[in-house]
């Protein structure tokens, strides 16, 4: 009996140790079924459809007046904080200003690690709305971070050490990243901001393992209306180019249309659906002589999740 108890105890301890070694152990199955584990928050909007609904019911109308502070943690910034914390495998990953990531024990608030991408403070002049960050994505032991200077980075979820880093924008232009990445089918999706200051928008997919560009979808035409060698070429040639003139400020300012957030995955139709922002300049008379719909500005666009090929759009 003592030997059996020792075996059982050993197995339990081994199980606990193995579980403790897992950080952000998230795959497609967990993300597709995120609603079934409301005690966790596995992606920016809670689930792939980003309804932000929680099934948790421990706190309700009968006991909400009994809530008190369990723990606090100082993010050590006086700048804007817009992050949605990701909670997975007992760890909370939250970002603060300047794209700094904090990993905390979700039960106690104990700091596990901090990652600071050391952003050049001069980048702050490119940010329309403060140097904020909306959060991270998690996938197979890694944390994915969009840095305000245009980098996309992968961190080791257990230690916060940098795994890979890639530049996703032309850093000579006023691009920024404040949105949270999303991971779909092993690809990290990331957009950018800066339409207010004059850039051309697009959504990119990078390999989660190596950080290599898989596909890119431009939301507005190249100013010379020539192909970019991107998956958006056909859609822009057949639809987008026809809705833009040949003159106006868009030819030098890029046209805008940044995908600064709002990216969802429709697993039924295998579509990535994203929102496209405002034009650059805002005034359409200045932007393009007030003519045409200027697609895909102010639109909802659906593309194939694996290839990025255009499926449909709806302009608001």
Strand partners, 137: 144
pLDDT in tens, 198-247: 999 999 999 999 999 999 999 999 999 999 999 999 999 999 999 999 99
What's the CATH code, domain 181-316? Answer: 2.40.10.480
191, pLDDT greater than 60: yes
pLDDT in tens, 70-101: 999 999 999 999 999 999 999 999 999 999 99
In this prediction, residue 3 carries a pLDDT of 29
- Rounded to an integer, the average pLDDT of 261-280 is 98
| Per-residue confidence band for 59, with pLDDT thresholds at 50, 70 and 90 | very high
Task: Report the chain's mean pLDDT, rounded to a whole number.
Answer: 93
In this prediction, residue 290 carries a pLDDT of 78
Q: HSE-up of 184 (CA within 13 Å, CB side)?
A: 28
What's the CATH code, domain 25-52+71-171? Answer: 2.40.128.630
In this prediction, residue 289 carries a pLDDT of 84
Q: Which two tokens stand for residue 279?
A: 């034009």
| Per-residue confidence band for 5, with pLDDT thresholds at 50, 70 and 90 | very low
14, pLDDT greater than 50: no
- Rounded to an integer, the average pLDDT of 289-293 is 86
| Per-residue confidence band for 43, with pLDDT thresholds at 50, 70 and 90 | very high
Closest CA to 48 of 259, 267, 208, 313: 267
Q: How far is residue 218's CA from residue 221's CA, in Å, rounded to a whole number?
A: 7
**Could you say which DSSP state residue 122 is in?**
G
In this prediction, residue 217 carries a pLDDT of 99
In this prediction, residue 21 carries a pLDDT of 53
Q: How far is residue 124's CA from residue 137's CA, in Å, rounded to a whole number?
A: 23
Same topology for domains 25-52+71-171 and 181-316, yes or no? Answer: no
- Tell me the percentage of the chain whose pLDDT exceeds 70: 93
**Could you say which DSSP state residue 239 is in?**
I
CB atoms within 10 A of CB 59: 11
Break the chain into its structural domains and give their ranges.
Answer: 25-52+71-171, 181-316
**CB 135 within 8 Å of CB 180:** yes
């Amino acid at each position: 009996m003592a030997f059996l108890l020792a075996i059982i105890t050993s197995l339990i301890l081994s199980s606990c140790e193995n579980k403790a070694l897992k950080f952000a152990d998230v795959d497609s199955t967990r993300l597709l079924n995120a609603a079934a584990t409301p005690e966790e928050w596995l992606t920016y909007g809670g689930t792939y459809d980003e309804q932000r609904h929680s099934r948790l019911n421990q706190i309700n109308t009968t006991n909400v007046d009994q809530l008190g502070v369990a723990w606090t943690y100082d993010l050590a910034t006086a700048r804007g904080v817009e992050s949605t914390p990701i909670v997975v495998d007992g760890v909370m990953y939250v970002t603060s200003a300047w794209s700094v990531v904090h990993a905390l024990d979700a039960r106690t608030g104990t700091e596990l690690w901090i990652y600071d991408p050391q952003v050049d403070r001069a980048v702050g002049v490119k940010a329309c709305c403060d140097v904020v960050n909306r959060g991270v994505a998690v996938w197979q032991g890694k944390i994915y971070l969009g840095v305000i200077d245009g980098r996309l980075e992968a961190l080791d979820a257990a230690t916060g050490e940098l795994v890979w880093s890639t530049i996703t924008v032309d850093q000579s232009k006023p691009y920024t990243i404040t949105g949270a990445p999303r991971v779909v089918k092993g690809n990290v999706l990331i957009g950018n901001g800066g339409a207010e200051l004059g850039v051309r928008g697009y959504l990119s997919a990078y390999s989660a393992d190596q950080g290599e560009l898989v596909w890119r979808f431009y939301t507005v035409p190249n100013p010379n209306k020539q192909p970019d060698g991107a998956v958006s070429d056909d859609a822009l040639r057949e639809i987008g180019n026809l809705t833009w003139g040949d003159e106006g400020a868009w030819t030098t300012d890029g046209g805008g249309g940044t995908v600064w957030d709002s990216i969802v995955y429709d697993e039924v139709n295998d579509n990535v659906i994203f929102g496209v922002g405002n034009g650059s300049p805002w005034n359409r008379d200045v932007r393009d002589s007030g003519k045409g719909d200027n697609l895909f500005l102010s639109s909802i666009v659906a593309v194939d999740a694996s290839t990025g090929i255009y499926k449909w759009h709806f302009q608001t």
